[in-house]
Amino acid sequence: MSSPTLNALVHTMRYEADGIVSVEFRPASPETDFPAFEAGSHIDLHLPNGLVRSYSLCNPSSDRQRYVVGVLNDRKSRGGSRYVHQQLRVGMTLPISAPRNNFKLEEGADRSVLVAGGIGVTPIWCMLQRLVATAKPVELLYCARTRKEAAFCDAIEALAREHAVPLTWHFDDEKGAPPDLATLLAGKGATSHYYCCGPTPMLDAFEKSCEKLGYANAHIERFAAVHVEAPSATQGCVVECAKSGRSVEVPPGKSILDSLIDAGLNPDHSCKEGVCGACETAVLEGEVDHHDGILTKIERASNKTMMICVSRCKGERLVLDI
């Protein structure tokens, strides 16, 4: 079954930077409370055009009656961000998911180093507010192509100034080049925890830099709107469902999720694009061909879990905890 949804009111929409708006949701029914959330969480918007898109929460996690997301009007939009910018309006209601967190903040860390790239600032801004509120050591590196395309700059600068948070800006047009993350992150401590959200080239550079510098505590989150590579359709497989005792044929070109649904099973799911985490399923046997945008290289190599909406079997058989 699809994840249960909440009925949300579009309370406020605000211009944040060129091509970026923030959207504040509040419960559509005053007697209803939104579930609490942690820094790094995201929600799924079930848009009226039939699309489901995931966006990180950027307001303080201490808030209880509102969720705020930042949405970039993506030049490569397949209909999600374009709908938000062109058709979503204050006063509308729509279903949203409860918050999920694939980008957890380690609040007990000696120090946190936050790295934001463009619209990837949304979960990073939430983390910064949480760490400042709990008086934990933190610093921020904020990168964008231009200053006018960087959201929340004034609020971030004010908070950093008030709480003496080290803050580094890097705007490509002003610096004349993309950021050299290996240089910018050098000397910040092997026990610190490092977080990065941004476009794929930046995430790749971040992971390589942390590996080069010997930083084991590196965490990333990919954009919800990133296009997930379509799984190979050259062969099918058989999925054995340990809990239900069912065996389901998955033909070439069809996802495991859709095959299970057609067989009458009801696995939890939402985005069907490998970015929300709702369909994450434990793998008991078999080797996975991963195509999601969530799991780290280490998590993929462990072969313990998979996103059944996009990932497939490398062999002929998978045993899942369903």
Q: Tens digit of pLDDT for each residue in 25-52?
A: 999 998 889 999 999 999 999 999 999 9
Torsion of CA 274, 119, 23, 268, to 10 degrees: 10
Neighbouring C-beta atoms of residue 26, cutoff 10 Å = 16
Rounded CA gap, 235 and 59, in Å?
Answer: 44
Rounded CA gap, 98 and 91, in Å?
Answer: 20
Average pLDDT over residues 224-241: 66
pLDDT at residue 234 in the model: 63
**Contact in structure between 246 and 265 (CB atoms under 8 Å):** yes
pLDDT at residue 228 in the model: 44
Query: In the predicted model, is pLDDT for residue 1 greater than 70?
Result: no
Average pLDDT over residues 210-234: 73
Nearest in space to 171 (alpha carbons), one of 190, 148, 194, 152? 148
- For the chain, list the domains and their CATH numbers: 5-97 (2.40.30.10), 112-222 (3.40.50.80), 237-320 (3.10.20.30)
Please, what is the angle between helix 153-163 and helix 121-133, to 10°?
Answer: 20
**If pLDDT is split at 50, 70 and 90, which confidence band does 2 have?**
low
**Residues 6 or more apart from 144 whose CB is under 8 A from it?**
117, 118, 150, 170, 171, 172
pLDDT at residue 226 in the model: 43
Among 3-7, 131-135, 224-228, 248-252, the minimum mean pLDDT is found in: 224-228
Average pLDDT over residues 300-317: 94
Average pLDDT over residues 90-108: 96
pLDDT tens for each residue of 172-200: 999 999 999 999 999 999 999 999 999 98
pLDDT at residue 297 in the model: 80
C-alpha distance across the termini of the chain, in Å: 12
Tokens of 132: 């400042």
Query: In the predicted model, is pLDDT for residue 229 greater than 60?
Result: no
**Contact in structure between 42 and 276 (CB atoms under 8 Å):** yes
**Contact in structure between 199 and 189 (CB atoms under 8 Å):** no
pLDDT at residue 235 in the model: 82
The DSSP output letter for 32 is: P
Rounded CA gap, 106 and 61, in Å?
Answer: 14
Rounded CA gap, 220 and 215, in Å?
Answer: 13
Helix, strand, or coil here: 88? coil
Rounded CA gap, 307 and 294, in Å?
Answer: 9
pLDDT tens for each residue of 267-306: 998 888 888 889 999 999 999 999 998 888 888 999 999 9
pLDDT at residue 25 in the model: 98
Cα–Cα distance list, 116 to 67, 163, 179, 221, 232 (Å)? 20, 19, 11, 10, 32
pLDDT at residue 197 in the model: 96
pLDDT at residue 225 in the model: 39
Among 41-50, 57-66, 102-111, 262-271, the minimum mean pLDDT is found in: 262-271
**């590579």: which residue's tokens?**
229
pLDDT tens for each residue of 3-29: 679 999 999 999 999 999 999 999 999
Tokens of 72: 């970039």
Average pLDDT over residues 232-238: 76
Percent of the chain with pLDDT over 90: 83
**Contact in structure between 261 and 267 (CB atoms under 8 Å):** yes
**Residues 6 or more apart from 210 whose CB is under 8 A from it?**
185, 194, 218
**Residues 6 or more apart from 113 whose CB is under 8 A from it?**
138, 139, 140, 141, 185, 188, 192, 193, 194, 195
Residue 227 or 198, more confident: 198
